[in-house]
Amino acid sequence: MWLLKDERETLLKYYNTLQNTQECMKFIALSERTYNSTRNLINRGLLEVVGGIDQTVASIVGDSINLNNFLASSQGGIACGEITLRLTLDGYDLASKYNSWWYKTGGMWFVEHRGHWFWIVAGYIVSFLLGRLTSP
C-alpha cells in the first residue's frame, strides 16, 4: 500500500512510539496536518481509536505524548486535543516495512520520484549511447 508522505511520517511516529498492536497510547495536541493524516490512517484500517476522540482512557493509558510540533503547519493551531490510538496488525506490518533500511535509503526515493523528468532525460541519453555503440 502506498501512503502519502504525511501519512507515512505519522504512521512511523506511531510505530516508533507504540511497541506492538496491543499497546495503547494517548496523543495530545495534534496539529491539523497530523490530525488529518491520523484520520486517513484510521479510515484505511491502519490505526484504531481506543475510547473515542477527546476521551481519557485512564485505565489503559498511563502517559501521554505531545505531538504539538510534529508536522506543524504554518498556521499553527491544534486540530485535536487528544486521541488514544492502537496500531492494527496491517498498520504494524506496513510501518515495519516503511521503517526498513531499503525504504529509508533508496527505495522510497525512487518510488517518490519515478515520474520525474530526470528519468525521461536519462532514458534518452542511455538510448542514444546504446544506439551509437551498436551501430557499425
The residues spanned by each domain of the chain are: 5-99
In angstroms, the Cα distances linking 56 to 7, 17, 80, 83 are: 24, 18, 13, 8
Q: Which three cell numbers stand for residue 37?
A: 493524516
pLDDT at 77: 65
Fold of 5-99: Arc Repressor Mutant, subunit A (1.10.10)
Name the amino acid, one letter, at 124: Y
**Model pTM score:** 0.68
Q: What is the pLDDT of residue 43?
A: 93
Predicted confidence at residue 19, as pLDDT, reads 81
**What is the strand order of the sheet 25-30 is part of?**
47-53, 80-87, 25-30, 64-66
The pLDDT assigned to 57 comes to: 45
Q: What is the pLDDT of residues 91-111, one digit of tens each?
A: 999 888 888 877 766 666 676
Residues of the chain below pLDDT 70: 52-62, 73-79, 104-109, 111-112, 136
